[in-house]
């Protein structure tokens, strides 16, 4: 079996057999008089151009720019409504309800388990190692990923997707690249390894996307929400082998990129936009370093975890009291105590906003 076939045999059989919805915009190109999609010939109220027309399902200009940015070919890229939609598409494409499972490495991003729950897939957990700066428990991940399915009544099926978040949310550190690749190679033909790189732009290390060409069971998730400041626009990209992208195309909603979103994304990805994003990332990283250096001098702060992201996870004596002090001053952080005891996740904002963080914490 070829490497690509071994990936396709992981897809839900009913999705492989599915005839996807064929939209008017997919079926026809290059006309003069467009009377095929029951659109209104104009937009009565809004004067913005082209809002009366259905958008291109995967705008080629946007795909070309995203592929160039992420260092893949256009056939390896699918644009989605945020990378959250990419997570959902992967669940629905690969996991059979009541049969298949995902593997996560907590503490980690909460959407994986939610998407699995919606799809009716079980979630197996192999925790990151707290005593080793939240490192991957590589051998345990591989062993769990390879384990044969338990009987259906045990509620745990075969692992189809392994979600690795690097840098990890909420802990902030990168996973070891060699360890991640070891998992990818060990699970070749057995499971898809999804590396969520929502924060990799802040880390200074290169993406794993270049490894997709030689590892068709590797999927990488990227987003314009964080480094490009476009969380409100909802632009994520799933990077994968073209065969996987083609299957995800069958599952994705017909028009995931609204026309105003396309305009914003193209502006962000222009030469000017890329330069501005690089400058923004550099100043956020400089602020993160400044705040990370200042925090340990405050009595309330017991520990600052190393960060390769635009946030810091800190351990305090009493997270509930600290959160309340923040709220009283109108400063909102995220309590992550349920994931890591007495830990709070603090996003790096402007210098002024970060000073507010430091000021409030200095009084706790």
The nearest distance, CB 269 to ligand PLP, in angstroms, is 15
Q: Is 84 in the site for ligand PLP (CB under 6 A)?
A: yes
CA 65 to chain centre: 19
Contact set for ligand PLP, span 126-155 (CB under 6 A): none
Nearer to ligand PLP, 196 or 201 (CB): 196
Nearer to ligand PLP, 165 or 265 (CB): 165
Binding mask 41-80 for ligand PLP (x = CB under 6 A): ----------------------------------------
Which residue among 223, 238, 354, 357 contacts ligand PLP (CB under 6 A)?
223
Nearer to ligand PLP, 109 or 134 (CB): 109
Nearer to ligand PLP, 80 or 322 (CB): 80
Q: Is 354 in the site for ligand PLP (CB under 6 A)?
A: no
User: Maximum CA pair distance of the chain?
Assistant: 70
Q: Is 83 in the site for ligand PLP (CB under 6 A)?
A: yes
Which residue among 106, 157, 236, 273 contacts ligand PLP (CB under 6 A)?
236
Which residue among 119, 138, 166, 169 contacts ligand PLP (CB under 6 A)?
169
Comparing CA positions, the residue from 79, 109, 131, 104 lying closest to residue 269 is 79
Which residue among 56, 88, 196, 241 contacts ligand PLP (CB under 6 A)?
196
The nearest distance, CB 112 to ligand PLP, in angstroms, is 9
Which residue among 59, 82, 107, 173 contacts ligand PLP (CB under 6 A)?
82
Nearer to ligand PLP, 114 or 124 (CB): 114
Nearer to ligand PLP, 94 or 163 (CB): 163
Pair 122, 155: CB distance under 8 Å: yes
Pair 78, 252: CB distance under 8 Å: yes
Nearer to ligand PLP, 144 or 225 (CB): 225
The nearest distance, CB 236 to ligand PLP, in angstroms, is 4
Q: Is 93 in the site for ligand PLP (CB under 6 A)?
A: no
Counting residues that bind ligand PLP (by CB under 6 A) gives 12
Closest CB to ligand PLP: residue number? 82
Q: CB within 8 A of 269, min separation 6: which ones? A: 62, 65, 66, 69
Nearer to ligand PLP, 165 or 343 (CB): 165
Q: At what angle do helices 351-362 and 271-294 cross, to 10 degrees?
A: 20
Q: Is 201 in the site for ligand PLP (CB under 6 A)?
A: no
Q: 210-237 as b/e, with b when 16 or more CB fall inside 10 Å? A: ebbeebbbbbbbbbbbbbbebeebbbbb
Positions in the binding site for ligand PLP (CB under 6 A):
82-84, 109, 165, 169, 196, 198, 223, 225, 231, 236
């Amino acid at each position: 079996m070829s490497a690509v076939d071994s990936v396709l045999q992981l897809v839900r059989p009913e999705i492989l057999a599915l005839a996807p919805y064929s939209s008017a915009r997919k079926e026809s190109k290059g006309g003069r008089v467009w009377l095929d999609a029951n659109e209104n010939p104009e937009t009565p109220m809004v004067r913005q151009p082209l809002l009366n027309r259905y958008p291109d399902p995967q705008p080629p200009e946007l795909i070309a720019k995203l592929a160039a940015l992420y260092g893949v070919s256009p056939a390896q890229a699918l644009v989605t409504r945020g990378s959250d939609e990419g997570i959902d598409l992967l669940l629905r494409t690969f996991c059979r309800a009541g049969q298949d499972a995902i593997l996560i490495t907590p503490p980690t991003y909460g959407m994986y388990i939610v998407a699995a729950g919606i799809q009716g897939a079980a979630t197996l957990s192999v925790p990151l190692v707290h005593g080793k700066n939240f490192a991957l428990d590589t051998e345990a991940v591989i062993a769990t990923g390879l384990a044969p399915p338990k009987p259906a009544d045990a509620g745990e099926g075969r692992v189809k997707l392994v979600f690795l978040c690097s840098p990890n949310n909420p802990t902030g550190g990168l996973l070891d690249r060699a360890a991640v690749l070891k998992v990818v190679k060990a699970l070749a033909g057995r499971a898809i390894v999804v590396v969520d790189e929502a924060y990799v732009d802040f880390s200074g290390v290169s993406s794993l996307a270049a490894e997709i060409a030689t590892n068709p069971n590797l999927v990488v998730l990227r987003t314009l929400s964080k480094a490009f400041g476009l969380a409100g626009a909802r632009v994520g990209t799933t990077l994968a082998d073209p065969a996987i992208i083609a299957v995800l195309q069958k599952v994705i909603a017909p028009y995931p990129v609204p026309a105003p979103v396309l305009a914003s994304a193209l502006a962000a990805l222009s030469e000017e936009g890329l330069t501005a994003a690089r400058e923004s990332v550099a100043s956020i990283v400089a602020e993160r370093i400044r705040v990370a250096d200042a925090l340990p001098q405050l009595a309330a702060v017991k520990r600052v975890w190393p960060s390769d992201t635009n946030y810091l996870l800190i351990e305090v004596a009493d997270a509930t009291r600290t959160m309340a002090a923040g709220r009283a001053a109108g400063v909102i952080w995220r309590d992550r105590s349920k994931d890591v005891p007495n830990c709070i996740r603090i996003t790096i904002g402007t210098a002024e906003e970060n000073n507010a963080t430091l000021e409030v914490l200095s009084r706790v």
